[in-house]
Amino acid sequence: MLIKENLKIKEGEVICKWFEGRVITRNKNVIAAISGPTGSGKSYWCLSLSEVWYKRRFNEEFPVEKNTCFSIGKAIRRLDELLKSNTLRRGEILIIEEAGVINNALDFQNKISKLFNFVLQSFRKFNIILLFNLPVLSMMNKNSRLLLHAHIIMQSIDEKNKISKCKMYIHQLNEQSGKSYWKFLRIKFNGVIMPVKKISLSLPSDKTIEIYEKSKQEFLMDLTKEFINELNEIDKNNIRKEARNNLTDIEFEVLKMLQEGKEVKEIAKIRGVGVRTIYESIERIKNKGFDVKNRQISLEKEVFELPNPIPKAI
């Protein structure tokens, strides 16, 4: 990729020229992976580039809240929303945050492949730009990596000068051999062709950072709730397993019928025993750590109501 530039290079100029070459001139999409460990500046780099591009291309601010996606599902829904509302423009950018890697590796890679195919096939003519940030590129499977057009590797954040630094590689794929070649962009500057080995961008605006951090916090809160619910479900399953191990067959059968909403008299009739026998079974269940206070009882420790006090044997 050769970019001719005879003026002083402005911030983001090299990447924006490459975007224009693919999206506008050649009528193609852009799928780029931005990789680097936590704290290397992936998210802020994507936001900063998006700010520069939207100002250049649309003369407006980048819609951070709408176009920053913390899951692959949201990215697909956002694309669908833009399409249905007839507001999808050539050069729209979607940022997909690394939070998506909470999924198991195989599930995550399958979702990436589906999204890439979705963009390349269903949205080919709309020429969108997808910035996908993740800790390491190997989190994508081989087929997904073959579909990338660029790979940006974060180097560092210069907190003093408020800039982030990266290396950008353009993907060239040999269709016959399937071999990938990753090369630096080249520019013509003051009559000299040279590779661009490092690219620096200022940190995004305070307003953009504030919106992004708020959205991220909301996502993390929802994620925490989801994680707690999953842990609670695991605990419930463990309790069920423990109950099956600790309760006798009769006690567990009584427990199950109470869970189904049956009353003590009904259970006694089904089992062909007296009501007092069922109360004794419930008492043993209670002594094994299950609360027996209401009419029903559950392994999830819900509150149930039983006659109080329990009739004593005469």
Mean of the per-residue pLDDT values for the chain? 80
How high is the pLDDT of residue 118?
65
In whole angstroms, give the CA distance from residue 306 to residue 292. Answer: 7
Strand-strand pairing, 129-134 and 93-96: parallel
Q: Is the residue at 239 inside a domain?
A: no
Out of 159, 191, 223, pick the residue that ends a domain. 223
Higher-pLDDT residue of 51 and 101 is: 51
Does residue 250 sit in the same domain as residue 172? no
| Shared domain check, 187 and 140 | yes
Q: Please indicate, yes or no, whether residues 171 and 264 belong to a single structural domain of this protein.
A: no
pLDDT at residue 313 greater than cutoff 60? no
207 and 258 fall within a common domain: no
Q: In this predicted structure, what is the pLDDT of residue 122?
A: 59
Report pLDDT for 291.
57
Within this chain, do residues 191 and 307 fall inside the same structural domain, yes or no? no
Whether residue 217 is found in the same domain as residue 276 = no
Percent of the chain with pLDDT over 70: 78
Q: Which residues of 143-180 are buried (b: 16+ CB within 10 A; e: fewer)?
A: ebbebbbbbbbbbebeeeeebbbbebbbbeeeeeeeee
Q: What is the pLDDT of residues 175-234, one digit of tens each?
A: 888 888 999 988 877 778 888 888 889 999 999 999 999 998 988 888 788 888 888 887
CA distance 176 to 206: 47
Measured between alpha carbons, how far is 194 from 182 in angstroms, rounded to an integer?
16
Question: Between β-strands 150-158 and 163-173, what pairing exists: parallel, antiparallel or unpaired?
Answer: antiparallel
Q: Note the pTM of the prediction, 2 decimals.
A: 0.69
Same-domain status, 140 and 214: yes
Q: Which of 115, 118, 82, 96 is nearest to 43 (CA)?
A: 96
Q: Which residues contact 231 (CB under 8 A, 6 or more apart)?
A: none
